[in-house]
Amino acid sequence: MSKKVLVISTSLRKNSNSEKLAEAFASGAEDAGNVVEFLSLKDKTIAFCEGCMACHKLGRCVIDDDANMIARKMYEAEVIAFATPIYYYEMSGQMKTMIDRANSLYDSDYKFTDIYMLTTAAEDEPEVPNRAIGGLTGWIDCFDRAHLSGSVFAGGVNESGTIKGHSALKKAYEMGNCIK
């Protein structure tokens, strides 16, 4: 039985390394027979959360921008994969802003259970993505049925496209391909 998979690329850079990692994951998930939607935050308008909490009553944010559409897609997905470049040992600001704006999902009957984290950085030490993963698991912990199902880190990639041939691409593909 196939699953509905949403892959969210949060990098705003053209030909970004994290987006290539996301594409590898999406290919693997698609090849496993899943229904995959690839979404990029590039060219999306996403304002900061205002903390008004109206989303808990309305089921959507009062700010009328692209975050509501993305949150709706997150709500409908059974699997969500976030891809982000690591900036100063953390997730990108646009990823953090998007998960903050998905606050309307908290009290909902969301479908997602499996969350994946795909990260890239210029630094190559294995601990580089730990804070970003911690930030995402802080969000995941607010959803009783959800858990971090896996992560892939591609270190040592800085300039656009330098991920080509990196072993993390194969790992991301294989991780996506294991979704059943």
Q: What is the pLDDT of residue 161?
A: 93
Tell me if residue 164 falls in helix, strand or coil: coil
* CATH number of the domain to which 77 belongs: 3.40.50.360
pLDDT tens, residue by residue, 21-79: 999 999 999 999 999 999 999 999 999 999 999 999 999 999 999 999 999 999 999 99
The helices-and-strands tally (H runs, E runs) of the chain is: 6, 5
| 24, 56 contact by CB (below 8 A) | no
Share of residues in the chain with pLDDT > 90 (%): 98
Q: What is the pLDDT of residue 1?
A: 82
- DSSP category for residue 90: B
Number of domains in the chain: 1
Quick one: which H or E segment has residue 8?
strand 4-9
CA-nearest of 116, 113, 117 to 84 is: 117
CB 11 within 8 A of CB 18: yes
Using alpha carbons, select from 108, 97, 104, 98 the residue that is nearest to residue 55.
104
Q: Report the alpha-carbon distance of residue 153 to residue 125 in Å, rounded.
A: 10
Both structure tokens of 140: 């995941």
Which domain, by its residues, includes 61? 2-176
Average pLDDT over residues 164-180: 97
pLDDT tens column, 140-152: 999 999 999 999 9
